[in-house]
Amino acid sequence: MKTRFTPLSIRDLNGIARWIAADRPNAAKKVVARLKIACLNLADHPYAYPLLTDREDNGVRRAPHGRYAICYRIAADSVEVLRILDGAQDITTHI
């Protein structure tokens, strides 16, 4: 199984990088690299994280990673990363 990033998830990663880079450019690269690795690792154990409350019918799952929430869905041959959001946000309104 492989991991696929949606355009929104790529936009989220770029936004995270810009936000952190405003104060700590080197940290931004590390945080984004770790988030990407966490997303790629979802393909190894796609069912490890629970379905997102109120989104069970869409098969959306939430994998916490530090202060971020990786929202993804399992497809036939891949894990589709939908969004990467700040965990403090109301996740269901952004999915």
Residue 51: which domain range? 2-86
Beta bridge mates, 56 = none
Over the stretch 37-93, which tens digit does the pLDDT of each residue have? 999 999 999 999 999 887 677 899 999 999 999 999 999 899 999 999 987 777 777
Asked if pLDDT for residue 3 goes beyond 90, the answer is yes
81 is a domain residue: yes
76 is a domain residue: yes
Q: What is the CATH number of the domain that holds 36?
A: 3.30.2310.20
58 is a domain residue: yes
- pTM given for the model: 0.90
60 is a domain residue: yes
How many structural domains compose the chain? 1
25 is a domain residue: yes
Beta strand 68-74 with 60-65 is antiparallel
CA 1 to chain CA centroid, Å, is: 17
95 is a domain residue: no
